Amino acid sequence: MEESLRPGDAFDPDCPTRLVLDRIGDKWSVLVVLSLLDGPRRFTELRDTIGGVTPKVLTQTLRVMERDGLLTREVFAEVPPRVEYALTPLGRSLRAPIEAVTAWAEANVGAVVAARARHDERASRAAAVG
C-alpha cells in the first residue's frame, strides 16, 4: 500500500494523523464545515454565519482546509469577482462526526459551564486559604 494511503496512528508523535486531528479539532474549521453542509457559500456569507471570526483568521482557515482537500475555492470571472467555497467529498465525510460532537457540545454546555464555575470557586477558596 502506498505510504500516504496507509491508516494512521494518532498515538505516534511522528504520524501525520495528528495534523488531521488539529484540522478537525480547530473550532473555525468545524464551523466552516457546518456552514458549508447546505452548499457553497461566499466568504462574506461564511463570515456572517460563523460570527466572531476575523477575516484574516477565516482566510487562513479556508486556505488550510483547501490545501487539506476539505473544500474547494472557485473564482467566477465576474465584476466584481465572485468566490465560492464548497466542501469536497472528503470534507462532506466529516458531517456525521462533526454533527455528533456539535450535538454533544450543545446538549452538555450547561454541565460544562457549571463544572467550570464549581472548579473556579474551589480554586478561589483554596487560594484564599493557602
Distance, in Å, from the CA atom of 48 to the CA atom of 60, rounded to the nearest integer, reads: 16
Question: Cis link prior to 13 (omega < 30° from 0)?
Answer: no
Distance, in Å, from the CA atom of 98 to the CA atom of 50, rounded to the nearest integer, reads: 15
Tens digits of residue pLDDT in 50-101? 999 999 999 999 999 999 999 999 999 988 889 999 999 999 999 999 999 9
The pLDDT score that the predictor gives to residue 44 is 95
pTM listed for this prediction: 0.84
Is residue 84 within a helix (H) or strand (E), and if so which, with residue range?
strand 82-87
The pLDDT score that the predictor gives to residue 22 is 86
Sequence-distant (≥ 6) Cβ neighbours of residue 24 within 8 angstroms? 30, 94, 97, 98
Contact 17, 10 (CB under 8 A): yes
Sign (positive or negative) of CA dihedral 67, 69, 71, 76: positive
